[in-house]
Chains A and B, each alone.
Chain A
Amino acid sequence: MDQIQKDLLATVADIHEVPEGAYNIRANGQLGGRNTTANIDIVTKEDKPGIDIIIKPGTKNESVHIPVIISESGLKDLVYNDFFIGDDADVTIVAGCGIHNCGDQNSQHDGIHTFHVGKNARVKYIEKHYGENEPSADGKNIMNPTTIVEIDEGGYMEMETTQIKGIDDTVRDTKAYVRGEGSKLVVRDKLMTHGSQHADAIFTVVMDGMESSCDLISRAVAKDDSTQTFTANITGNAKCASHTECDAIIMDNAKISASPEIVANDLDAALIHEAAIGRIAGEQLIKLMTLGLTEEEAEQEIIAGFLK
């Protein structure tokens, strides 16, 4: 693995050495390394590209890293990764994709991740997306992550998804079925676009489980001429609770459109949506300037905090 690939791995998966526990590294569409443990198995799919990650019931405090890195310009990569998280397991899954584009052709990674979260299982899923170009390279970096989540009785899934920078075009599609009694989904989505980039973020959550819940917070920053759309559709079909929050900062000539929809099909469904789009408040800039920061430094501090 060369230095470029090592740097991408560090950025998207915090991997600096060989990770502990189970891992599967996909580099330029090929297997770049794999490790399994007594409790976590990783099996290559035979009918289509991708892997099955099978976590035994009761597995505690283990992690799986499955980063994807692309450093060949013009590569189009598609994978199907299925996660089977056994009952009562408690694991952290770190995904993420990094593209280093050294040419004028588009590089693309489409990942379809499906999670089956067992009874009373807890999953923390961390996903980071990042792209970079060599100075003379004009090829676009494209990522289209699709995430499908099914949560059984008492299950808990926390998703921390981030698009750091450098992705020219993306459709981030998340569908969650919070179907078990007392199951819960937590999403913290952070998205930053710049230049002439475009991003679509789509969240569809269906809550069928009694006493199920969903807490979805999206923070977005659009700079320069970039554009974003945010669509959330939360449906409550039982006694359930959901809180959705879409907060966005626009700068320069950027544009953001947010379309929140909440649907209550049960008298005891309590659904809340909050949405706010606007520029950085002038008073926030002034406040930080009175502490000695320049306007640019204040702006960076506010955005870094907002996306933290």
Chain B
Amino acid sequence: MLELKNLCFSVTDDNNSEKEIINNISLTIEDKKFIAITGPNGGGKSTLAKLIAGIYHPTSGQIIFDGTDITDMSITDRAKMGISFAFQAPVRFKGIKVKDLITLAAGKETTIAQACAYLSEVGLCARDYIDRDVDGSLSGGELKRIEIAQMIARNTKLCILDEPEAGIDLWSFSNLIKVFEKMRNDSDRNILIISHQERILDIADEIAVVNNGEIVAFSKKDEILPELLNGMEGCRYYQ
């Protein structure tokens, strides 16, 4: 279970004035839930995800994961506790291969066959990718899928995915939906996914709408999705 209690995060801009990015967010995510976070660009969704992963530290408030206060914990310690994070813009390296990242993600020596199985799950022909460098020679879509393969390899209690659909072609997208559904059905993990995609929102149990650094709505998918789909113009969550 993940609990966010009165979470705030602000930054100081160039003019030395403080800007609130996350404003007093409280949220409880029960076990086995698939939560989608949506909302306008710049509303604070990615920041919220990075606060949970420990990439940013909150100005105030608490983050409780499985009963432990992780607010002051490092990224590493949170990762070891069972939080995994898939970046919106996956990081590129020089000299680190796809197999290296998958092995690091799995936390143990991974056989080629096992690493290939993870890649196949995200629709990549493993033989073509396993020895490729994770660098600029891979397209954005390929990197995203490798990012998700690492998340499958990590097999953690909480999976946070920041806009996994960005850069993924339509054909692969259907398969990715299946990947997310399988991740949910495999165990009692939580999935927290930031997305603008109707098809991803549609497989969520609950949807949180984040705007101006606040949760403006958090409810069952069936209650929120219809209004979101009515068009952003008339949607009260996007005002």
Within 8 A of A (CB), among B88-139: 90-91, 93-97, 100-101, 104-105, 107
Stretch from B15-23, B79-87, B211-219 contacting the other chain = B79-87
User: Cβ of A301 and Cβ of B104 under 8 Å apart?
Assistant: yes
Instruction: Look across to chain B and name the residue whose beta carbon is closest to the beta carbon of A297.
Output: B76
User: Cβ of A292 and Cβ of B94 under 8 Å apart?
Assistant: no
User: Cβ of A291 and Cβ of B79 under 8 Å apart?
Assistant: yes
B190 close to chain A: CB less than 8 A: no
B144 close to chain A: CB less than 8 A: no
Instruction: Look across to chain A and name the residue whose beta carbon is closest to the beta carbon of B154.
Output: A291
In terms of DSSP, what is the predominant structure of the interface of chain B? mixed
Instruction: Look across to chain B and name the residue whose beta carbon is closest to the beta carbon of A288.
Output: B104
User: Cβ of B80 and Cβ of A305 under 8 Å apart?
Assistant: no
A284 in complex: contacting residue of B55, B74, B85, B93, CB < 8 Å:
B93
| Size category, A interface | 20 to 34
Q: A301-B104, A305-B100 are in contact. Are A289 and B93 (CB under 8 A)?
A: no
Min CB distance A262 to B, Å, is 22
Tally chain B residues at the interface, Cβ within 8 Å: 24
Within 8 A of B (CB), among A241-289: 247, 281, 283-284, 286-289
A290 close to chain B: CB less than 8 A: yes
CB contacts (< 8 Å) of A44 on chain B: these are none
A307 close to chain B: CB less than 8 A: yes
CB contacts (< 8 Å) of B96 on chain A: these are 301-302, 305
A305 in complex: contacting residue of B75, B84, B85, B94, CB < 8 Å:
B94
CA distance A219 to B53 in the complex (A): 32
A292 in complex: contacting residue of B80, B87, B93, B95, CB < 8 Å:
B80
Min CB distance A73 to B, Å, is 35
CA distance A272 to B165 in the complex (A): 36
CA distance A219 to B135 in the complex (A): 15
User: Cβ of A302 and Cβ of B93 under 8 Å apart?
Assistant: yes
Q: A301-B104, A305-B100 are in contact. Are A290 and B95 (CB under 8 A)?
A: no
A134 close to chain B: CB less than 8 A: no
User: Cβ of A289 and Cβ of B95 under 8 Å apart?
Assistant: no
CB contacts (< 8 Å) of B107 on chain A: these are 291-292
Within 8 A of A (CB), among B29-84: 53, 55, 74-76, 79-80, 84
CB contacts (< 8 Å) of A283 on chain B: these are 91
CB contacts (< 8 Å) of B104 on chain A: these are 288, 291-293, 301
User: Cβ of B87 and Cβ of A287 under 8 Å apart?
Assistant: yes
Min CB distance A81 to B, Å, is 30
B150 close to chain A: CB less than 8 A: yes
User: Cβ of A306 and Cβ of B94 under 8 Å apart?
Assistant: yes
User: Cβ of B95 and Cβ of A308 under 8 Å apart?
Assistant: yes
Instruction: Look across to chain A and name the residue whose beta carbon is closest to the beta carbon of B153.
Output: A291
CA distance A293 to B79 in the complex (A): 8
CA distance A302 to B150 in the complex (A): 17
CA distance A304 to B107 in the complex (A): 18
Instruction: Look across to chain A and name the residue whose beta carbon is closest to the beta carbon of B80.
Output: A292
User: Cβ of A289 and Cβ of B100 under 8 Å apart?
Assistant: no
CB contacts (< 8 Å) of A292 on chain B: these are 76, 79-80, 104, 107, 154
A294 close to chain B: CB less than 8 A: yes
Known contacts A302-B93, A306-B95; can you find 20 more A-B pairs with CB under 8 A?
A219-B94, A219-B95, A286-B55, A286-B75, A286-B91, A287-B87, A287-B90, A287-B91, A289-B74, A289-B76, A290-B53, A290-B79, A291-B79, A291-B84, A294-B76, A301-B96, A302-B96, A304-B95, A305-B94, A305-B97
Q: Which B residues contact A (CB, under 8 angstroms)?
A: 53, 55, 74-76, 79-80, 84-85, 87, 90-91, 93-97, 100-101, 104-105, 107, 150, 154
The 4 closest A-B pairs by CB, nearest first: A305-B95, A305-B96, A289-B75, A287-B91
